[in-house]
Amino acid sequence: MAPPPLLLLQDIGLTFGSTPLLAGASLSIGPSERLCLVGRNGSGKSTLLKIADGQIDSDSGSRFVQPGESRPSPAGRIPRRCQAARQGAALARVLAPEPDILLLDEPTNHLDVVAIVGLEAALKSLRSAVVMISHDRRFLENLSQQTVWPDRGITRRLDKGFAAFEAWRDALLEAEELERHKLGRRIVQEEHWLRYGVSARRKRNQRRLETLVALRQARKRALVGRTTGQVKLSVQEAKEIGKLVIEAKRIAKSYGELTVVRDFSVKIARGDRIGIVGPNGAGKTTLINMLTGALAPDTGYVRLGPNLEIATLDQRR
């Protein structure tokens, strides 16, 4: 017999203005489970986590929590220059007492690669139940054992980790599309019968008309919230003149006595894809700024290829 859940949300409903965000959502967290909440932005992941944490009340539904639940302190609005250190300290403070339940909303934000690996190891060693939201796919794949998908107001649960989520989600959406197609064909058939059927049988006609109305309403409900959100990035293609994009020769940058970049050289050609990794404060952003011409190096030079159009999506977006 499975142990009772530590935290249980049932039939949660919440509306902002005239738009329902959650309508019959549920969430069950058992001892030692590691569960991830995944879905598009605006689907209600963070809101559901806040309801579970007791930070906000739902309009309808119930919340049950076993005695002894602990929760993380909210990070609040923290200046960017100390965000990483504050985030690490907050996580350490939450992990230390090994609470019954950990509710983590984007715990890897502002952490470098080394800190993320350490956080993964710490969470795996805990006996606490963990509910996490993250845009870090690798973090979720390494940690999650169950997946909850808030989708169009309800929640769907997969008793597997995030690695199996996308195939499962696509299969569900494909089945829904097939049902919508069948429903559409049924409506066409009913409309045809009403137009050309035997009109003398009025009672039967009335029943068929009522069936058609019900089918149209079902199709309308099926189409509500059908759009799951799309992100469109439009980048104008640079003119193909030469292969060189950036060439840096022995560039360096210091702030006072602190040397951030020393004697760095690189040549970047069209089609190259380069990742710059390192701990916070190692100089990654400074290096990118020098390579793109936003910051002049103290020594050395940077040469940009002709007719470049540079698009930047930085961490302050």
Nearest to 101 by CA among 72, 64, 130, 67: 130
Residue 276 confidence (pLDDT) above 50: yes
What pLDDT is stored for residue 80 in this prediction?
Answer: 42
- 46's tokens: 């963070």
Between 88 and 75, residue with greater pLDDT: 88
Residue 33 confidence (pLDDT) above 60: yes
Residue 122 confidence (pLDDT) above 80: yes
What pLDDT is stored for residue 78 in this prediction?
Answer: 37
Q: Is 300 in contact with 251 (CB distance < 8 Å)?
A: yes
Homologous superfamily assigned to 7-160: P-loop containing nucleotide triphosphate hydrolases (3.40.50.300)
Residue 109 confidence (pLDDT) above 90: no
Residue 49 confidence (pLDDT) above 50: yes
Mean pLDDT, the chain, rounded, equals 82
What pLDDT is stored for residue 234 in this prediction?
Answer: 54
What pLDDT is stored for residue 51 in this prediction?
Answer: 94
Residue 16 confidence (pLDDT) above 80: yes
Alpha-carbon span 101 to 6, nearest angstrom = 8
- 37's tokens: 């909440």
pLDDT digits (tens, 9 = 90+) for 217-263: 777 766 665 555 555 555 544 444 568 999 999 999 999 999 999 99
Residue 131 confidence (pLDDT) above 60: yes
What pLDDT is stored for residue 238 in this prediction?
Answer: 45
36-40, 184-188, 195-199 — which is least confidently predicted?
A: 195-199
The phi, psi pair for 137, rounded to 5°, reads -60, -40
What pLDDT is stored for residue 203 in this prediction?
Answer: 57
Residue 188 confidence (pLDDT) above 70: yes
Kindly indicate the confidence band of residue 216, based on its pLDDT and cuts at 50, 70 and 90: confident
Which residues make Cβ contacts (< 8 Å) with residue 189, sequence separation at least 6? none
Between 211 and 80, residue with greater pLDDT: 211
Domain boundaries, the chain: 7-160, 168-223, 244-302
Homologous superfamily assigned to 244-302: P-loop containing nucleotide triphosphate hydrolases (3.40.50.300)
Does pTM surpass 0.85? Answer: no
What would the 3-class secondary structure string for the chain be? CCCCCCEEEEEEEEEECCEEEEEEEEEEECCCCEEEECCCCCCCHHHHHHHHHCCCCCCEEEEEECCCCCCCCCCCCCCHHHHHHHHHHHHHHHHCCCCCEEEEECCCCCCCHHHHHHHHHHHHHCCCEEEEECCCHHHHHHHCCEEEEEECCEEEEECCCHHHHHHHHHHHHHHHHHHHHHHHHHHHHHHHHHHHCCCCCHHHHHHHHHHHHHHHHHHHHHHCCCCCCCCCCCCCCCCCCCCEEEEEEEEEEEECCEEEEEEEEEEEECCCCCCCCCCCCCCHHHHHHHHCCCCCCCEEEEEECCCCCCCCCCCCC
What pLDDT is stored for residue 35 in this prediction?
Answer: 96
What is the share, in percent, of the chain residues with pLDDT greater than 90? 47
What pLDDT is stored for residue 113 in this prediction?
Answer: 86
What pLDDT is stored for residue 114 in this prediction?
Answer: 85
Kindly indicate the confidence band of residue 30, based on its pLDDT and cuts at 50, 70 and 90: very high
